[in-house]
Amino acid sequence: MIFANQSSILTTEQFRYLFIAARDGVVTVYILMSFIPGILGMYREETVKMMRLKMIFLLLLCTCFLITSLGSLIAFVWVMTDWGNPSIPASLVQPFVVAGMIFFILTMIPYRWFLRLVHFRQFYIYQRLRDLEKRIFQKIGKDISQTPEFQIMQDLKNLELQIYRTTISILDHYPLLLKYDTTASLHDELDDCKQNAPDYDKLIRRLSRI
């Protein structure tokens, strides 16, 4: 009955844009008042990097939806005021619909899949640190065979442990370069990393670039 009475006021196209705008407007309120503050709160408390990355994807998903909602609201205003073609703002935000779908898929990827990417990255850092450790041992005349055998770590925790052990070995032995290496160029690079790296993660990344 309501629709019958309103049909004399609003056209079918106007009803369509009204419902779309009302739907997106309600969801927008929830996103602004609940979802985004909640995600930001969890992001600040989260310490696991990959989970923080997934929360960034969620924030980007929310941002894409807010932009598409804005397009829906503008389209509704245009169709009600005959100011312009309502399909124009609706079509302009379509790329954000696609981007939102991509971010949604990324948030649904299992956590262990992200860990594989971290594993490959950490394995590369481990390789680089091992090479650096051997270079130091060669310059100071220490037997390279004393270093543990290089292994492909299947467990991320073991890999992190090996990275830590190799980093400590590098920091323990590099001061000896002043005695054995006449140029001391490698010593200076290592000393710069140690003195200027703000935390452990940045330290191992800088060491892996030497």
Please give the full DSSP string across 56-78, using - where no structure is assigned. Answer: HHHHHHHHHHHHHHHHHHHHHHH
The per-residue pLDDT for 1 is 38
31 vs 198: CA distance, rounded Å: 36
> What are the boundaries of each domain within the chain?
6-109, 114-208
The per-residue pLDDT for 139 is 84
Per the structure block, which two tokens stand in for 7? 């049909």
The per-residue pLDDT for 4 is 42
Rounded mean pLDDT for each run of 10 residues along the chain, 210 residues in total: 50 82 89 92 83 90 93 86 80 90 88 72 87 87 64 68 89 84 77 82 87
Cα–Cα nearest to 132, from 51, 202, 208 = 208
Is the CB of residue 156 less than 8 Å from the CB of residue 122?
yes
Per the structure block, which two tokens stand in for 16? 């369509």
201, amino acid identity: D
pTM for the model stands at 0.56
The per-residue pLDDT for 144 is 67
The per-residue pLDDT for 77 is 86
The per-residue pLDDT for 51 is 83
Distance (Å) of CA 176 to CA 113, 133, 148, 167, 185 = 42, 13, 20, 15, 13
